[in-house]
Amino acid sequence: MATQREVIGLVASECNSFAEQFFAANCHRFSDLEGPDVAKNEQKAEWFDVFKRFEAEAELTMQNALFLWGLVQAKTFQEEFVEEATQCAVLDDFLSLTDYPAFVKRMYREIQQKREQDAKLAEDKPRLRKRQDSLRPDTPMGNLETQQKLSELDQRLAALEAERNSLLVERRKLVGREVHATTSQTLKHQIELQRYKEDVGLD
């Protein structure tokens, strides 16, 4: 059975994998982005639209990952999960992406990496950098056969969830009920609150 820290790592890995794939798939829309600071650069409406799509799909990805492990019920989280997330901070980067300036900064980083990669490819052509195909990290198990079966199930579920998330975002937008980052924002707030309590000695 996975420890709470391992579960947090797996949730974070799945969320970060989604973010990497989203940024790679959408960085071409930000080709005019001149720097990571939102306040110093002119912003295009299309960029904010891409951010809103990210925010919605990230929310559903977070919900799915937490639901997979039975960690959330009605926007409250297991106390042990929040305490562990407070200590290891592996979800912080992903949760920060629900703020537009952090999103733009990350997109700029993706663009810079792509430009560097393209320049390198122009130099030594044949090698392409391959991104991981895995949508969900493997859950460590004692039995290799069980781990393999679990991995196959997880990859199929992750692919279905990714497609479902994309379709849900589109459908909800069409019916005027957009997805908001409530789970991600609530978890971010609970982690910050727990850190505050620890800093002032209330825990």
CB neighbours of residue 121 within 10 Å? 13
Q: How far is Cα 192 from Cα 82, in angstroms, rounded to an integer?
A: 10
The yes-or-no verdict on residue 92 having pLDDT over 80 is: yes
CB 55 within 8 A of CB 98: yes
CB 35 within 8 A of CB 111: no
pLDDT digits (tens, 9 = 90+) for 2-19: 788 888 888 888 899 999
| Minimum mean pLDDT range among 65-69, 118-122, 135-139 | 135-139
Q: Which residues contact 37 (CB under 8 A, 6 or more apart)?
A: 101, 104, 105
Q: What is the mean pLDDT of the chain?
A: 83
* Per-residue pLDDT at 55: 92
CB neighbours of residue 103 within 10 Å? 24
**pTM for the whole structure:** 0.68
Furthest CA-CA distance within the chain: 58
Q: What are phi and psi of 102, to 5 degrees?
A: -65, -40
Q: What are phi and psi of 98, to 5 degrees?
A: -80, 0
CB 24 within 8 A of CB 100: no
Candidates 144, 146, 7; CA nearest to 69 is 7
Q: How far is Cα 65 from Cα 85, in angstroms, rounded to an integer?
A: 14
